[in-house]
Structure 1
Amino acid sequence: MGTFRILVFLTFVSTGLQNVDSTYTYAAENALRNLIFTINSYQIQARPTGTVEVNITLNIITFNSLDVRNQALTTTGYFRLAWSDRRLDWSNKTPYNSDINAIYSDEDTIWRPPLILENSVNDISVMSDDSIPIRVANDGTLSWTPSGIYTTQCETDVTFYPFDTQVCDISISTWGYTSSEITLNLDLPPVESTYFKENGEWRYISYSTSTTNRGRGGNSFSSVTFHLTLKRRPMYHILNTLTPTILSGISELYGVQTSCRVGRKDRLLVDCTVVVRSVPDSGGRQHPNNFRQHISAVRVSCIHLGSRNDICPTDNTGSGVPSFRSGNGSSKLVAEDCQCTDDDNLPEKKRIFPFLLLFMC
């Protein structure tokens, strides 16, 4: 009985020592790094294989803004890149394969694929992030998650503003290495939104992806594109643009009186100017051919409206009816001191004309 207890004790101690040996230690990782980078002479300038397959996933945190006027989408997020490097495989090297599951390094020590944000507005340099370590698994699989706030070009169409839907692209391409040397693939899923936060003005609807080879300087380079669909939330613009415009037009149509010392032309000119300036101008891209000309014509009409003296009768006798004059030969309109007048004295067609112009705006 005593001999059996001694054997059980020795077995327990032996098992415990084996468990201790299989745990991670600094000395074990230091020896592994020395084996990989020094003894095996790891060369960062050399790519792992003839054709490196890189899998890409886009993780969206939020859409900061979509600037329709400047054609730019600002996105906060990060990419997850994964590729394989056999030189970093220690899965068959004892005892490291059991002691260390993964090590971490940086872009100055390990080869990584040079990628660019192809349609970036601010910066088109090679993607880099020294603060994000590269994870190396014991089978030689590497994963890297560079993050940032990316501003990319987005061609917008405001034909149906404020009920418009925009499709913006984020394109990633290789730099330096051709498509036969580095191939970019979409991982599954290609877009993740686990930590996504909604934007107050734009609602994220869906995404689609595409892969292609782009030609630059006579060579072909691998590229992937994420097509992101965003829909404007129209309530803000309905309350702050459309509703005041409709109410203003109704007031002009029915001749609502005001007690202010502002002429009819002043009020109408301000109303029309607000409407025109509230419509985003995307430079005419993606619009019908006559859209930009239409907006320009409305602006000219508003300016012409403000300079006309036949909308309201001009009374030079001091009766208080609004009149305008040009000051010192300049193009600015100077309103003479006057009181508001009764709109019922105006001809019917001259009361309806301002409403029609506002409707056109």
Structure 2
Amino acid sequence: MADERLIGLGASAGGIETLFELVAGLDHDLPAALFVVLHQSASARTTLPDLLGRRCELPVDAARHGAPVRAGRVVVAPPDRHLLVQDGRVVLSRGPHENGHRPGVDPLFRSLALEAGPSATGVVLSGLLDDGAAGLLEIVRHGGNAVVQDPGEALFDAMPRAALDQVPGAVVAPAGAVGTALREIVARDPLGTRRPSPQLVYEVRVSRAQPPETVDEDPPGEPAGLACPDCSGPLFALGDDRLHRFRCRVGHAWSQDSLRSAQDVVVEHALYEALRALEDKAALAGRVADAADSRGSALVARRSRRKAHEALRQAAVLRRLLSADVDDGEDQDGHDESTTEQEGQEGR
């Protein structure tokens, strides 16, 4: 599909409001196929296609696996499926989560880079953390175009800022002007062709949930000495000095920021497990002490109460750690989008 103009739109927290404004500014005759990924809960029943369709002059469809790619239409990813393009058709995949998400923005962007090369355009909108930055860089590295929502007007500016860190030459526009930027981009002829890199081919294949080509195939990188938060498998370092990313053998992928956020969740879970174990230990020791008292075994009772006291002392340390203030600027992505989407839908 080298001659087809393919445009990917990626958003997270604050994305509902941004997409409403963006699609309202799209031309009714825009000669490109558009694909939308919004982070959302896997169990959500989304009405996003209907909501966008009320505001957009282009037809808006929920993605269907195997449907042909058509210019002048907007296709929206469903919950719990990566939205990809292959050989001129829509692919919905339950491939590994990327940055803790499915659908993910990076898989869509990489798919467009592989499918269309210089005819691909990626658009990064409001959201937390940095999903979309790596995929946008791949689009540009393969000759395509990049558009980023102006961070100053985004409800959540982390995704736009991360995208600009990787692609500082991207077109920057407020949501309402993105349609104009896209019209200007598709009016220009694509510049040349680019052969896809082996890493791009590998990562798109993983997102499609295709099996490895060899039994012992590992991600194309060095062991990072870190564990995957999703499956506890070893992570391999991908990318270069400009962009640090990680992928495990089964395919879960993490940016640097998303991995740190997921590790925070893993650590908190582990601390709560340890707290529960210590308080269970104290409760059991207390029961043993009470039973010993009833039998007149004072020595056993004293020993058990000492054990209960020590366990409670250790548990108190964990409770102080868990209740300590954290930097609100490092909130993990993925908890508020479904709420934001629901509020956006209920408010309209």
TM range (shorter): under 0.3
Structure 2 length as normaliser, TM-score? 0.27
Rg larger in 1 or in 2? 1
Structure 1 length as normaliser, TM-score? 0.27
Larger relative contact order, structure 1 or 2 (CA cutoff 8 Å, min sep 6): 2
Higher strand share: 1
